[in-house]
Chain A
Amino acid sequence: MPKVTINGTEIEVEKGTTLLRAAAQAGYEVPHFCYHPALSIPANCRMCLVEVEGNWKLQPACYSEVTDGMVVNTKSDRVVKAQKAVLEFILVNHPVDCPICDQAGECKLQDYYMAYDAQESRLRTEKQSKVKVFPIGPEVLYDGERCILCTRCVRFCEEITGTNELTIVQRGDSAEIRTFPGRELDNDYSVCTADICPVGALTSRDFRFKCRVWLLSSTDSVCTGCSRGCNIHLEHFRNEIQRYRPRYNPQVNDYWMCDAGRLTYKEAHEDRLLRPMNNGVQLNWHAVGEATADKLRRVLKDDGAATMAFVVSPQASCEDLFLAREFATKVLGTTNFYLGGKADGDSDDFLIEADKNPNREGLSQVFGGLDDLKTAVQLLQDLEEGTLSSLYMMESHLPFDSGERTRFIDALDQLDLFILQAQHRSDLAAKAHLALPTCSHAETSGTFVNSQGIHQRFDQAFAPHGQSLPHWQIFTRLSKALDAPLEYTFVHQVQKEMFPAPEEEDDAAQPAE
């Protein structure tokens, strides 16, 4: 293995490591714009120039591989001068409109200017004006003046999505990023280009002007858009999710996530059910516990547990489902489980999975396979035949088309008791005798198992909205009201019982972007 000395630190690195990586391993930051660990290396921004002893010219650290005995200096006077020059060149035509730029606060040019340049502009001529607010795609806007032409977005479309929409047009200081004629940046991962853009040239339309990034708090979470379970930074401000940003996980989603998944955060805030409802009357949890227990007791006494249907949802976390199973089998005494969840949707061969439920695999693990669970179609049939007298439902999603859904809602009228635990107000919640508000994945912590079988924890970002509670807490409350308490107070107690020896997740350290 070659040994290399970087700023006096001797370090042994693997053969083929670039200087930038070796410097990062030695603990030195080499500034860079165009280099991205998941993309090819064009070495066009010249920000990462370093001095290699014996070389007359400065070398791009992102591209040069280490050789044995190399002596590198990333902080010499020549390097500092080069860095200042590069930043000055980039800033020649940069509008410095940071106050109105969405990237401000997470902008590499801003950070590097403060860290490596910090000198006044010597430019006395007019700046080149280019396109502003150019709709380059349905989800992304382009600002030509801010663009530093690092071509990260171009390479992303070539190498990751393979859709090749983008290219550089014109030359010199009129160069801009454009789509090829007749195309637009409309692939399913287009907002990733806004993520990897080191400046504010490409910005997300959804997040545009919504919130300044320095106000956001970030929580590690998992996208609930499909069963892939892309790792995300769930970024929130004042108890509201503002955006999802992909979190590096080489086993699941690498650096990327799809546009549809990014927008699923809206679901967490849309038309939420905020208080427990008893036949349309708002109650508090104390009263609702008693009311539910009374109704459940009466139904169990009159009809028996055999005619009670319990719908479990692959939208819920493993902990919720575990408690659902405990509650149904031990407290209610029914094993009449049906499988809910969203209907299948589009898929591709990269990240998007057809199964739009984040935790089907986890549900299968909790219930020991999906074979014992009856389908939603069976539920509809049983309801219409009248073999069911009561229904307990987790989440209001069912894989029905609109016709089936109408029939389902009509069939609900014959039930003696319909209890729904749901996040949202809906036609189902309106029909429910008892509608109990549950919180979204941002408001609780838990585990999802993705389609590859990887257990992924997600953390609580903020307090539950309104009086909503996580599913598992509702089950423990109701079990207490029914005098058969499930003794859990904290989610880690559930996790301890579910996963007796938790596999330590190896936190993959994120290489320098």
Chain B
Amino acid sequence: MGNVTVKNVDRIKQTLWEKSYIPEILRGLSVTTSHFFRNLNPNKEKRTIFTREYPEVITEYPERYRGLHRLMLRDDGQVRCVACMCCSTICPADCIHIEAGEHDDPTIEKYPTVFVIDELRCIVCGLCVEACPCDAIRMDSGRHIPPSLERDEAFFDRDLLMELGGLSEAKQGGQR
């Protein structure tokens, strides 16, 4: 273990003006009141504080916004994922659980029988997408993680994630 160094931080002393309390309250009130009246201005351009009326007004997110995960599909509609566990290995929040199984098709061989993402645990870092060798997981659905009342509702399983998925532009087996 290295040596522990301690840095002393001095307390900021209050002035008599601040200690007397009333003038600071009045100063604060004047700020809020001026904001209130400024934002009653019929000319919206003159207003200074903008509140977005979500969800009535939907925000346009940038193209590379990382949202809810989705699982991409093969040309025949099967899941692209080959259960290599790269995403669950790299995941810093340890929120991806995969169980691999034997696929009937010997050219596919391995596929995820269970693929669950705990979206509440996910820290939306996007490392799973970086790690994926076959463009099977993406975070470009442009959606938030929906609010839920039960913890279980935030466990997104394979089929749910595939519903958000689509065909990948990447060629299967890589380009030669």
Contacts and interface: CB of A to CB of B under 8 A. Distances in A.
A133 B106 contact: yes
B110 A212 contact: no
A91 to B, nearest CB: 14
Interface residues of A, number: 15
A214 B109 CA distance: 20
A99 interface: yes
A132 B100 CA distance: 17
Given A212-B89, A215-B89, A99 B134 contact: yes
Nearest to B132: A99
Contacts of A214: 89
B89 A100 contact: no
Given A124-B176, A209-B100, A132 B82 contact: no
A133 B176 CA distance: 24
A150 B58 CA distance: 61
Interface in A156-176: none
A330 interface: no
Contacts of B84: 98-100, 104, 212
B172 to A, nearest CB: 12
B107 A99 contact: no
SS class, residues of chain B in contact with chain A:
loop
B122 to A, nearest CB: 20
Contacts of A15: none
Contact of A133 (B86, B101, B109): B109
Interface in A165-200: none
Contact of B82 (A100, A126, A210, A212): A100
B19 to A, nearest CB: 56
Most chain-A CB neighbours within 10 Å: which of B82, B86, B110, B133?
B110
Contacts, number: 35
Contacts of A126: 176
A239 to B, nearest CB: 15
A106 to B, nearest CB: 14
B173 to A, nearest CB: 9
Most chain-B CB neighbours within 10 Å: which of A132, A209, A214?
A209
A229 to B, nearest CB: 33
A132 B106 CA distance: 6
Interface in A341-369: none
B83 A100 contact: yes
Nearest to A121: B176
A208 interface: yes
A126 B83 CA distance: 25
Given A99-B133, A99-B134, A215-B89, A209 B107 contact: no
B85 A212 contact: yes
A210 B133 CA distance: 19
A215 B89 CA distance: 8
Interface of B: 82-86, 89, 100-102, 106-107, 109-110, 133-134, 176
26 contacts: A98-B84, A98-B133, A99-B82, A99-B86, A99-B133, A100-B82, A100-B84, A100-B109, A100-B110, A126-B176, A132-B106, A132-B107, A132-B109, A133-B106, A133-B109, A208-B102, A209-B83, A209-B100, A209-B101, A209-B102, A209-B110, A210-B100, A212-B84, A214-B89, A215-B85, A215-B89
Interface of A: 97-100, 104, 124, 126, 132-133, 208-210, 212, 214-215
Given A100-B84, A209-B101, 13 more contacts: A97-B109, A98-B84, A98-B133, A99-B134, A100-B83, A100-B110, A104-B84, A124-B176, A133-B109, A208-B102, A209-B102, A212-B84, A215-B89
